[in-house]
Amino acid sequence: MSVTATDQPLLDVRRVTKTFGNLVACDAIDLVIKRGEIHALLGENGAGKSTFVKMLFGSLQPVAGEIFWKGRKVNISSPAVARGLGIGMVFQHFSLFDSLTAAENIALSLDKKIPLQDIAVRARDLGEAYGLPLDPDALVGDLSVGERQRIEIIRCLLQEPDLIILDEPTSVLTPQEADRLFVTLERLRAEGKSILYISHRLDEVKRLCDRATVLRHGKVAGDCDPRKETPASLARMMVGNDIKIARRDVATGGKGEARPLLEIRGLSQPPRGPFSTALHDISLTVYAGEIVGIAGVSGNGQGEFFESVSGEMRQDRADTIRIGGVAAGRAGISRRRGLGAAFVPEERLGHGAVPELPLTDNLLLSRYATDGGAFLRGGPLKILARHRLQSAVGSIVKAMDVRKSGENPDASALSGGNLQKFIIGRELARKPAVLVVNQPTWGVDAGAAAYVRQALIDLARDGSAVLVISQDLDELMEICDRIAVMNQGALSKTLPSAEVTLEKIGLMMGGADKAA
């Protein structure tokens, strides 16, 4: 290969722009990727990273700008074109098909006419070569998240791409799995392949990447060598200013005198559907004034656990769940709310709120049972008191700094962060004795995330028991007193946050503590 060919960038993106309606998701973005480098694309949620890479992969079309591939101007009109050029992609939310086998899933993304049998063989060989073992005949719906990612990566590698795009690959992995992934990526780099690595985790980027491009609000905020930056300087580029980190006063009093407000004893539950996780003998107590965190890779039963605690799924035995000392295992969610508990699910649209309904209705959604007297009139007729609902929405909006347009917009019209603040505010306004939150800051911008964390800390300080389920270890270590790990539907013992290290948690996530 001649010198000029090596110097020529593999990919050169110039002033690429994408709009959705009035929203400018990507605004004149420039990006250059050289051969054999791991290039990081950094940015907060909503900075435009996903939109940008979808344009590189042909799933979205830019409205302006140019893309040069190996020096030649190209129009990536579809993923098939991208794959033809030699661009492969591993998605963040896996684009896999639950009802198909691993081999069938791989076959779908290969343009060449290879018989299914051959694909299975090649996939197995390739997987072994890169340390990614795989059963080609397994139904994807039955696989763990880590195994699914392996399919994605093998699927991508089978096309022998020159550029591999990885969208937040470690967000679903345990630290140990992530380490293994890094080894695979470094091997690929050594073979001369280029990697575009999308992340918001600064330590990973510093450790792995040769260059980094930082996006903020759809624009390029900077271009740097991450190994020469500090996490603080990278964070500043990402966020634009120093974010306030939630602070909490060091642990208040011993548990000895504190009252247990949420008690879970021997909670087990068979899987509800074909692709859901069973829960195994979970026990946990949360005391007044503390925040307990549950870490773990998503898909290990967190959703099922949340629904069991909330009462959306009831238990057979009443004493499995106690709220404020009262056995509530057989009670539904309204009764559990009546006992002083409040719940914030992971999905905002379609679980915690109804997208098509206005905020007043969404306030009533979780409050009618406990605050019926305030929001309903007409006795047995139960007529909605619109004015009182509206003013209650107004005070939540004010207390939580929810930004919205219009008096009473539909929930779907709010941004993720603002809707999350509204939902948390809706529950906090009741001053609940117990709050259970699943993924409190998932998909939420940094400003709102800090606000939400502070609100949780304040609630605990006022004497409530708070249980936080989160994939974000940094978040848990920041706000929790104790942390446990959920793995395949079982819960580890809790550790005081002070004693927790990333490595320990990682081992627990992989299920290693059970053997010990």
Partner 1 sequence: MEMTQAILLTVATAATPLLIAAMGELVVERSGVLNLGVEGMMVMGAVTAFVVAQMTGSAWLGMVAAILAGAAFSLLFGFLTLTLVTNQVASGLALTILGLGVSAMIGESYVGLPGIRMEPIHIPGLSQLPLVGQFLFGQDPIFYLSILLTVGVSWFLFRTRAGLTLRAIGDNPGSAHALGAHVVRIRYLAVLFGGACAGLAGAQLSLVYVPQWVENMTAGRGWIALALVVFASWRPWRVLAGAYLFGAVTIGQLHAQALGLGLPSQFLSALPYLATILVLVLISRNRRSTMINTPASLGKPFVPDR
Partner 2 sequence: MRIELVRRPQHSVLFSALSPLIALALTLVAGAILFALMGKPPLHGLYVYFVEPLTEVWSLHELMVKAAPLILIAAGLALCFRSNNWNIGAEGQFIAGAIAGSILPVMFPDFQSWAVLPLMLLMGMAGGAAYAGIPAFLKVRFNTNEILTSLMLVYVAQYFLDWIVRGPWRNPQGYNFPETRQFNDSAILPEIWSASGRAHWGIVLALVAAVVLWFVLSRTMKGFEVRVLGASPRAGRFAGFSAGKMTFFVFLVSGACAGLAGIAEVSGAIGQLRPSISPGYGFTAIIVAFLGRLNPLGIVAAGFVLALSYLGGEAAQVAIGISEKSARIFQGMILFFVLASDTLIHYRIRLIFSPKAKPAQEKS
Q: Which residues of the shown chain bind partner 1 in the complex (CB under 8 A)?
A: 20, 54, 57-61, 78-80, 83, 91, 94-100, 104, 107-109, 113, 273-274
In a 3-state reduction of DSSP, which class is residue 282? strand
Q: Does 419 bind partner 2 (CB under 8 A)?
A: no
Give the residue, chosen from 24, 36, 59, 65, that forms a contact with partner 2 under the rule CB under 8 A: 65
233's contact among partner 1, partner 2, none, with CB below 5 to 8 A by partner kind, is: none
Name the residue with tokens 């008191």: 385
Closest CB to partner 2 among 318 and 376? Answer: 376
- Residue ranges in 2-41 that form contacts with partner 2 under rule CB under 8 A: 20-21
Give the residue, chosen from 5, 6, 30, 75, that forms a contact with partner 2 under the rule CB under 8 A: 75
Give the residue, chosen from 70, 351, 461, 504, that forms a contact with partner 2 under the rule CB under 8 A: 351
Closest CB to partner 1 among 99 and 501? Answer: 99
Q: Does 373 bind partner 2 (CB under 8 A)?
A: no
- Residue ranges in 279-318 that form contacts with partner 2 under rule CB under 8 A: 310-312
10 Å CB burial of residue 241 (0-12, 13-18, 19+) is exposed
Closest CB to partner 2 among 4 and 405? Answer: 405
DSSP state of 40: E
Please say whether the beta carbons of 474 and 286 come within 8 A. Answer: no
- Long-range Cβ contacts of 136-139 (<8 Å, 24+ apart): 136/101, 136/102, 136/103, 136/106, 137/101, 137/102, 137/103, 138/101, 138/102, 139/98, 139/99, 139/100, 139/101
Minimal distance in Å, beta carbon 282 to partner 1? 23
Q: Does 343 bind partner 2 (CB under 8 A)?
A: yes
Concatenated DSSP letters for 49-71?
Answer: HHHHHHHHTTSS--SEEEEEETT
What are 116's two structure tokens? 């299914």
Q: Which stretch binds partner 2 (CB under 8 A): 170-178, 228-236, 381-389, 446-454?
A: 381-389
H or E segment and range at residue 344 = strand 341-344
Count the neighbouring beta carbons within 10 Å of the beta carbon of residue 84.
Answer: 14
Specify the amino acid at residue 293.
G
Give the residue, chosen from 26, 202, 364, 396, that forms a contact with partner 2 under the rule CB under 8 A: 364
What are 410's two structure tokens? 């539909």
146's contact among partner 1, partner 2, none, with CB below 5 to 8 A by partner kind, is: none
- List of residues contacting partner 2 (CB under 8 A): 20-21, 61-67, 75-77, 310-312, 332-334, 337, 343, 345, 347, 350-357, 361, 364-366, 368-369, 376, 378, 381-384, 406, 409-410, 412-413
